[in-house]
Chain A
Amino acid sequence: RKEVEQDPGPFNVPEGATVAFNCTYSNSASQSFFWYRQDCRKEPKLLMSVYSSGNEDGRFTAQLNRASQYISLLIRDSKLSDSATYLCVVNHNQAGTALIFGKGTTLSVSS
């Protein structure tokens, strides 16, 4: 089983739609979880961290289910500018080093 798995999509939605992405991770000892956003031919950028209690940032809501080893990202009222690839990212240990990236889910929002 791959460490971080995502549905690659693409998800094609109209403006104003609500869309949800899911991600599963294999290491039950994983401690930190994130969603990064990557625009076409650009570098990844942190979108939001994912906390155990769930967290919201404007139109974006992230949820974590440790028992199922599952992370989700919900985007409400989609905008054209939300079109990008969303990377699910996990870090396994407190000592740090690197992040484990999923392959990403592509979202295309159309008018």
Chain B
Amino acid sequence: NAGVTQTPKFRVLKTGQSMTLLCAQDMNHEYMYWYRQDPGMGLRLIHYSVGEGTTAKGEVPDGYNVSRLKKQNFLLGLESAAPSQTSVYFCASSSTGSSFYEQYFGPGTRLTVT
């Protein structure tokens, strides 16, 4: 199993450009999450999804949109990138039930906005 994969691994954007980060999981997990990690800030939740077709805002949702059209995929979009969005983005997934709180993370996407 690949687990959680993220595409792309690295990206450099100019201010105002748009892009979509793709997260895919092959564990049949219901829950998926997007986090950003900045130096000195820890991981912060951007958006999450509790199932196909549903999404919700996390702690820092501004400037981002998400979609979960298929259970295995969770997309994070930046419509107009800003330098403040330079960060490492991690996608994660978790199942329901007793193992719910073990989140499996993808390898991350390093985004630089100039």
Which of A's residues lie within 8 Å of B, judged by CB? 4, 32, 34, 41-46, 49, 87, 91, 96-99, 101-104
Closest beta carbon of chain A to B74's beta carbon, Å: 13
Q: How many A-B residue pairs have CB under 8 A?
A: 49
Whether B48 contacts A97 by the Cβ 8 Å rule is yes
Q: Which residues of A contact B90 (CB under 8 A)?
A: 43-44
B43 and A101: CB pair below 8 A?
yes
Q: In the complex, A102 Cα to B50 Cα: how many Å?
A: 23
Residues on B with beta carbons closer than 8 Å to the beta carbon of A32: 101
Contact present for B50 and A96 (CB under 8 Å): yes
In contact, B106 and A98 (Cβ under 8 angstroms): no
Evaluate contact between A34 and B101: CB separation under 8 angstroms: yes
* Smallest CB separation, A74 vs chain B (Å): 21
Digit string of B40-75 for contact with A (CB within 8 Å is 1, else 0)? 111111001010000010110000000000000000
Q: Which residue of A lies closest to B100 (CB)?
A: A96
Nearest residue in A to B91 (C-beta to C-beta)?
A: A43
Q: Is the beta-carbon distance between B42 and A98 smaller than 8 angstroms?
A: no
| CB < 8 Å neighbour of A91 from B33, B35, B101 | B101
| A51 → B minimal CB distance (Å) | 12
